[in-house]
Structure 1
């Protein structure tokens, strides 16, 4: 057995691995005064992916993700209250930092996770902060963003301290950790400064802060290749977050149907909405392999890796908006939706479909893409069909738009079932 918890030295204990799948670093506690804290606290280490190629998400990481479920749940509730353009803009301004806060911890833990006492306490602290962030969401949608900004600043502040601490103890990784900690600290400053600026100018500082956050990794591209995120653990984490937002879509659909009097068109629309979520799952995990292992080994790989990484932002946001669109269809299945809400579902579905192409292109090499041109053409046609639904949204009953979106993603699913040509698979497996 691997090392685990030893609660007291006077009583013999059986130690066990504290990580799911038996992978990772665990702890042994010694309860003799200060020795307890010395043995429970460990300095960060640069994870060697070759020694642990089958690393999976830990139980603590899964628990951490559940806190984001609470936050995203509140976002979905507030988003469903109004469907005007201003609400959707606020959704983007709120959803992006939530997503980025999750991303920050994923990549830090992929490189430096030790699963010691300090990490567990910091994770619990962040879970508490996320709880308060969830309660601040209604006010943030109403324009009172103080609580939301403070919570986001605390989450990012923990990450800055973690990178600073890692750089202090790992000299070879210090160039990377210093760039990250300084860039992220600057972004935090912009967010906190926004509290002193009236609306709408404060949102300009939010956008500037996010641009600083997003651009900071570009200053250490070579270090990102030298010390890459774990090739299996990181994609798995993104897959788990995708399941979370798909789960929110399912909850929204079921919740809408539960709170209304059933009609046949509404029930059909709900079933179609659930089937749409299933097809998205199929194409994401089995079709384009977006959660399969990947690691940047060159500058070109870094570009493809970042296309895969940042492509998840519109994917996850699009899935949330699909849930909103399906909710409107379930309530008004035979009506022609008017105004901005008519376009929510087709636009979101088209975005999700386009992102599947991005994931495919970021997964396979140029050689494979050229070899597969004839094979992938039907996928292009299916996505093109989904894009054509957008101008029709204001003229046909909403259930037909939902049916078109389901037909498009269903076509992708059926095309994925047939698999890829053997020669293309042979080339893909070599890279």
Structure 2
């Protein structure tokens, strides 16, 4: 009888708001599982983009990738910020999170259909994932009075957006682009409206770690995509030397992207400027970091196919799928982590200049090698400019 209350608390603990200054606030195993399952959807989106680019449907592929990636990223973002503010880790919380993971895997299953214009499977997974989050927000509203107004607005806004996504399926295909943008704007507005009445207590170090971990997973997906492409390319005789050289360049490129993203502590800007605008711009802006990093993998696959002669595109057309996302990645990291007004002018100027040079590399005979060299040179610049000292935590 004396142990019964302990078992009840393990089953269902009161949800509480986390302390923004809590020490040793790190990602939980459940959050890591959430990320690993979501990377399946990222991989599917990158693979579909690669096929569209290889078939010469660049505009359609990029547009579909951007739409699909929004569903992946937005579902991940909403869970991550909620978990940073209210992580309770009891049985109901875990079950609700597992439902969201199931929704993310459903989205992954519908990626190929979405590239063909059929978003029904993705919407089904998205609604499953997001309605589970609505339940979490309602639980937070019941348990945490100080953030109840924000929690109720989150729950109502998310539920309304899911209704709009479902209604969009029944509209004429000619309205697809306009209605997608309209509902996306509604989704982006929900946190802005909800947080105006009462701020949720997300943890800056924890949320920066969560974003960093997802960046790592996406970069891992890039390495996997490039490795698989090189493996398939080795079956073609006469291209082994070119593939080894391309693989080395791709590895240098990914290592450089990792270095440049993690060279500055991700939480620094959130701590220095704790306002809602900084949190929103930093959190939303990572869409371009995640999406561009994932797209690099598709671009490297296109480059491998071009070098092995299995892709009939011009050299520039085969280079742009890799150089454009690398340039977007560099500009996004510059805006979110470095800043145009950074006190270290060589670094502040180096990022946008390198991005422009990467785009120009598309017109060179070896665009991937030149891009990798430019990214590595930017790493050297950051090391020299900071005298090799690690950035302060």
Please give the TM-score of this superposition, normalised by the length of structure 1.
0.80
Alignment equivalent of 1:43, drawn from 14, 18, 24: 14
Name the residue aligned to 2:364: 396
Is contact 1:318-1:349 (8 Å) kept?
Answer: yes
Deviation at 1:210, TM superposition (A): 1.4
Q: Which moved more, 1:245-254 or 1:59-68?
A: 59-68
**Aligned partner (choices 179, 204, 212) of residue 231 of structure 1:** 204
For each residue in 1:345-396, what CA deviation from the matched residue of structure 2 results, as whole angstroms up to 9, or x when unmatched? 221111111112112346x9x6xx3xx2xx3235524532432443562x43
2:347 is aligned with 1:347: no
State the 1:197 CA deviation: 1.1
Quote the residue 1:104 is aligned against: 78
Describe how 1:236-251 pairs up with structure 2 within 5 A: 236-251=209-224
Alignment of 1:192-341 (within 5 A): 192-222=166-196, 226-261=199-234, 262-286=239-263, 288-290=264-266, 294-295=270-271, 301-333=275-307, 337=314, 340-341=317-318
Instruction: Compute the displacement of 1:272 (Å).
Output: 0.6
The answer to whether the Cα contact below 8 Å between 1:296 and 1:305 also exists between their aligned partners in 2 is no
Runs of 5+ consecutive residues of structure 2 not aligned to the other structure: none
Structure 1 or 2, whichever has the larger Rg, is 1
2:66 aligns to what? 92
User: Post-superposition shift, 1:206?
Assistant: 2.5
C-alpha displacement at 1:291, in angstroms? Answer: 5.5
Aligned residues: CA RMSD: 2.7
Q: Structure 2: how far apart are the matches of 1:349 and 1:237?
A: 22
Partner residue of 1:76 out of 24, 46, 54:
46
Which deviations, in whole Å up to 9, do the C-alpha atoms of 1:377-425 show, x marking residues without a partner? 35524532432443562x433xx22122212221221122235389xx8
Deviant stretches of 4+, over 6 Å:
none
Q: Distance in 1 between matches of 2:261 and 2:164?
A: 35
- Asked if structure 1 preserves the Cα contact closer than 8 Å seen for 2:154 and 2:190, the reply is yes
Give the drift of 1:53. Answer: 1.9
Q: How does 1:168-207 map to 2 (within 5 A)?
A: 168-207=142-181
Q: What is the CA-CA distance between 1:247 and the residue it aligns to?
A: 0.5
The alpha carbon displacement at 1:277 in A equals: 0.6
Q: Secondary structure at the match of 1:232?
A: helix
* SS of match in other structure, 1:418: helix
Question: Which residue pairs with 1:20 in the alignment?
Answer: none
Deviations 1:236-291 (Å, cap 9, x if unpaired)? 000000001100100001000111225211211111111111111111112x3235
Residue deviations 1:183-206 (CA, integer Å, cap 9, x gap): 222211111111111224234322
Deviation at 1:130, TM superposition (A): 2.4
Q: Indicate how the Cα distance of structure 1 residues 149 and 257 shifts in structure 2: closer, same or farther if over 3 A, else same.
A: same
User: What runs of 5+ residues in structure 1 fail to find an aligned partner?
Assistant: 1-7, 11-27, 31-35
Once residues 61 and 281 of structure 1 are traced to their aligned partners in structure 2, the CA distance between those partners, rounded to angstroms, is: 21
Distance 1:292 1:191 in 2: 36
Specify which of 357, 372, 377 is matched with residue 411 of structure 1.
377
| Residue 63 (structure 1) aligned with residue 33 (structure 2) | yes
Offset of residue 297 of structure 1? 5.8
